[in-house]
Amino acid sequence: MSRVLSGIQPSGQLTLGNYIGAMKNFVKLQETEECFFMVVDLHAITVPQEPAALSEQTEALAALYIAAGIDPSKASVFIQSHVRAHAELGWLFTTLANMGELERMTQFKDKAAGKESVGAGLFVYPTLMAADILIYHADLIPVGDDQKQHIELTRDLTQRFNSRFGEYFKTPEPYIHKVGARIMSLDDASKKMSKSNPNPGSFIALLDPIDVIRKKIARATTDSGMEVRFDPANKPEVSNLMSIYSHCADLTLPEIEERYQGQGYGSFKKDLAEAVISVIEPLQARYHEIRESGEIHQILKQGAEKASNIADRTLAEVKERMGFLLPRG
């Protein structure tokens, strides 16, 4: 059994991109592997968050994990900041990383682009992520394509730690599905669908009202042609909608092409909206039940206890290896 760990930021409304690229895989993996799934609130504050919104979004995201099918008797679900060792190991890893390698991170470059002032937390974001992964000695990290570079950096830091302080950590592997690893924005297929995009028309939120989902899909940008064909280089918008359809309706891309041959985009988009709704509607119903019951707090407490046991031990062993004087007596 491998140990699996991943996290999602409570930095806005969870999107269909997060669901397809990340959560759907989490639900599958819990059946065969030992899983830890976090709400990474310490990462979310690398860009400014309103305090009231942060706590609401954190609780909402934890409930969405359960609504999406994570079973707390199979996987541990917890809040990153409830396991205090993350922040401490994150600092230790920050001292192992170089400015140059952090400057090369495309997520940092994208989020810093055009800003007058860029938070230092955004810069050291990947060293905290490395700590998240290594603190559990995780083997497999299910993420969307955009996180691959951060996992590669984690692998480099693992090797650096081991060569300076003796073999201790194993090197984690990314786990990325080919189709759906990068769902693009509905208004611009050159950008990934992202919950922190200021234009709500660019994403489908898992908690969007059903009629809003229909409208967003009807308005999604397409090319001026009429052929439903998977061709990301020449038809990036339609190809993106086809990837979404393929995930929500469990159809292959050739099956979709065949179904809409000679029909234009109208009926394709209508059916796509219904396919998306068939996934989202039951998820929303479960979400509301979980929020109303208040059961999430007990789930998070148990998750944090299990995670802290492992994390505290790793942190103590790391500090010993690095030469910290440990408290005695």
| Interface ranges with ligand ATP (CB under 6 A) | 8-9, 11-12, 15, 17-18, 20-22, 143-144, 146-147, 181-183, 192-196
- Among candidate residues 115, 191, 195, 235, the one labeled active-site is 195
Q: Give least dist CB 9 to ligand ATP, A.
A: 4
Dig out the tokens for 74 from the structure: 């199979």
Give the list of residues 6+ apart from residue 200 with CB closer than 8 angstroms, or none: none
**Interatomic CA distance for residues 78 and 72, integer angstroms:** 10
Q: Is 133 in the site for ligand LTN (CB under 6 A)?
A: yes
* Distance in Å, CB of 244 to ligand ATP, minimum: 10
**Minimum distance between the CB of residue 42 and ligand LTN, rounded to whole angstroms?**
9
Among 23, 24, 43, 197, binds ligand LTN (CB under 6 A): 43
Q: Known catalytic residue: 28?
A: no
Q: Which two tokens stand for residue 108?
A: 């940092």
Nearer to ligand LTN, 147 or 246 (CB): 147
Distance set, CA 281 to CA 23, 175, 195, 248, 270 (Å): 16, 28, 19, 12, 16
> How many residues make contact with ligand LTN (CB under 6 A)?
14
Residue whose beta carbon is closest to ligand LTN: 7
Q: Which amino acid is at 96?
A: L
With respect to ligand ATP, which residue has the nearer C-beta, 69 or 168?
69
- The verdict on whether 111 is a catalytic residue reads yes
Phi, psi dihedral angles at 3 (to 5 degrees): -95, 130
What's the closest the beta carbon of residue 327 comes to ligand ATP, in angstroms? 36
Closest to ligand LTN by CB, 4 vs 256, is: 4
- Contacted by 194, from ligand LTN, ligand ATP, none: CB < 5 to 8 Å by type: ligand ATP
Angle at 222 between CA 216 and CA 224, to 5 degrees: 140
Q: Which of 24, 192, 235, 269 is catalytic?
A: 192
Sheet containing 75-79: give its strands across: 75-79, 34-39, 3-8, 140-142, 173-175
Tell me how far, at minimum, the Cβ of 301 lies from ligand LTN, in Å: 21
Instruction: Identify whether 192 is a catalytic site residue.
Output: yes
Half-sphere exposure (Cβ direction) of 221: Cα atoms closer than 13 Å: 14
Tally helices (H) and strands (E) across the chain: 15, 5
Name which of ligand ATP, ligand LTN, none residue 132 binds, using a CB cut-off of 5 to 8 Å depending on partner kind: ligand LTN
Of 54, 18, 92, 23, nearest to 317 (Cα)? 92
Handedness of CA 58, 61, 63, 69 (dihedral sign): negative
Residue number with CB closer to ligand ATP (193 or 300): 193
Pick between residue 82 and residue 150 the one whose CB is nearest to ligand LTN: 150
Instruction: Return the number of the residue (170 or 215) whose C-beta is nearest ligand LTN.
Output: 170
Q: Are 26 and 142 in contact (CB under 8 A)?
A: yes
Q: Are 172 and 140 in contact (CB under 8 A)?
A: yes
Q: Show contacts with ligand LTN in window 136-155 (CB under 6 A).
A: 141, 143, 147, 150
How far apart, in whole angstroms, are the C-alpha atoms of residue 172 and residue 28?
19
195's contact among ligand ATP, ligand LTN, none, with CB below 5 to 8 A by partner kind, is: ligand ATP
Nearest to 277 by CA among 214, 215, 218, 229: 214
> Closest CB to ligand ATP belongs to which residue?
21
Q: How far is the CB of 132 from ligand LTN (least distance, A)?
A: 4
Indicate which residues carry an active-site annotation: 111, 192, 195
Contacts with ligand LTN, residue ranges (CB under 6 A) = 5-9, 40, 43, 129, 132-133, 141, 143, 147, 150
